[in-house]
Structure 1
């Protein structure tokens, strides 16, 4: 019983420390948005990766960086509204 409690406490600590991990009430849209934001932030933070995207898109590196920053606002579009059944 103590192991279950300890595991639950460790999970809660991770969830408060790392927002992208999610929690029980995280929707699919929130989770996917977090994954996309993390990926875009990683691309922006690694200059070689950003240069790779710039060459592939045939755009200047700074323009690609700005496009990625803009995508971070709503990476997956607005959330879908729930339909009442």
Structure 2
């Protein structure tokens, strides 16, 4: 039973190392939303048909839409909230 728990913890650690947006128990709401928005923007940029759909819907060029989505990845949910140091 101890061996099973060790392998499960190892697999979770590997998952978090590979995919940073998977979250953890101490993740704040802001961090979770930021990861979700960045993942969505990256998915749109990575799928050309979805990028074309977005650019047509906004009436922008595909390159311009890709640039705007890349800029939105910097702070997708605005500046981070102040931290409480208690």
Q: Which runs of 5+ in 1 are unaligned?
A: none
TM-score after normalising by structure 1: 0.84
Q: SS of the counterpart of 2:66?
A: helix
1:78 to 2:79 alignment: yes
Distance 1:83 1:25 in 2: 14
TM-score after normalising by structure 2: 0.83
Q: Which sits farther off after the overlay, 67-76 or 20-29?
A: 20-29
The number of residues matched between the two structures is 85
CA displacement 1:27-51 (0-9 Å, x = unmatched)? 2211211111111111111111100
Q: CA RMSD in A?
A: 1.8
Distance 1:83 1:14 in 2: 29
